[in-house]
Amino acid sequence: MTLHYTDKDEERMPLTSPTDTDSQDQGTLYESPNADGPPYLLWACLLVAVLSTFNVVLLPFSLHGALPLTPQELENLPYVDQRMGLNRLAAFAPSTQTYYRSQPDQIARLNGKYKNAVYGTGTQVVFSTTDVTLMRFVVPPHGGYMCNVAWYPPQHNTMHGRTKVLETEGDVSQIEVWSVIAFNSSIPLPKLDLDTMSWGDRPIRGELLGTLNLNSTPNATTVDFACPFSDMVLIVELRCLIPRCYVKFNQIPAIPAYGFELVRHA
């Protein structure tokens, strides 16, 4: 078969391959990125490198400062060093105070209105304008030189929902605590028999140990006084200072404890 060419065929543009067209378009639309980059990026990288080198140089000095100081270095410090470490904390922390307590082993009520009445010893504590209570404490064998008399109010003032544990009337904010002296020198203080004592033969008041506010919570204490080491026995008299004062309760061993105690410091 013979092909015939016309003038129109000669005027037609030659066909190009898709690959050549795409390459031309890409060359026109997309330019290659600048290999040099912006200048601030170069400076940032240089700054990071310098800081890293500086930290590496300072590392030995930082590790040396974290080590515990020697005793000689501590003495050379002008002020107390706060980096003592846990091994030296015990020497600077305040010690926990320890107390030794004693409950009264004898309790006796005396009445000034009935001077010959003998109530005997028991658990009942009564003091008012006419009544006083004597308590005999055995000093705890262990501890330091100072003691005080403490008052602990009951946490709940009702027993079985009805009976009051502590009965008070009037102002009970000033209850005096007196140490007593045997009126007969032939009878030492530890030999006093509170079970047969009446108002007429009660011992003489010696030193005012302090006053107690029975309204205080959680407790009230007298001022510290020297523990009686010679007899290892302390007998105190409790009385109301303010008229129209009345207190009545039974001091029995209970948990938590309430009533009066002799406290000896460690």
The domain spans of the chain are: 39-92, 99-265
Please, which contacts does 229-233 make with residues 24 or more away whose CB atoms are closer than 8 Å? 229/139, 229/145, 231/188, 231/189, 231/190, 232/138, 232/139, 232/141, 232/190, 233/136, 233/137, 233/138, 233/139, 233/189, 233/190
Q: pLDDT tens, 132-175?
A: 999 999 999 999 999 999 999 988 776 555 678 899 999 999 99
Taking every pair of C-alpha atoms in the chain, what is the biggest distance, in angstroms? 165
Polymer length in residues for the chain: 266
- Kindly state the average pLDDT of the residues 178-207: 81
Q: What is the CATH code for 99-265?
A: 2.60.120
Beta strands in 130-182 (DSSP E): 131-138, 146-152, 158-159, 163-164, 166-169, 175-181
Instruction: Please give the pLDDT value at position 110.
Output: 95
Q: pLDDT tens, 48-76?
A: 888 888 788 777 766 666 667 677 776 77
- Checking if the pLDDT of 28 tops 60, the result is no
What value does the mean pLDDT of the chain take?
79
Instruction: Please give the pLDDT value at position 79.
Output: 58
- Kindly state the average pLDDT of the residues 235-258: 89
Q: pLDDT tens, 94-130?
A: 667 789 999 999 999 999 999 999 999 999 999 999 9
Which tokens is 119 given? 């109530």
90's CB contacts (< 8 A; 6+ apart) are none
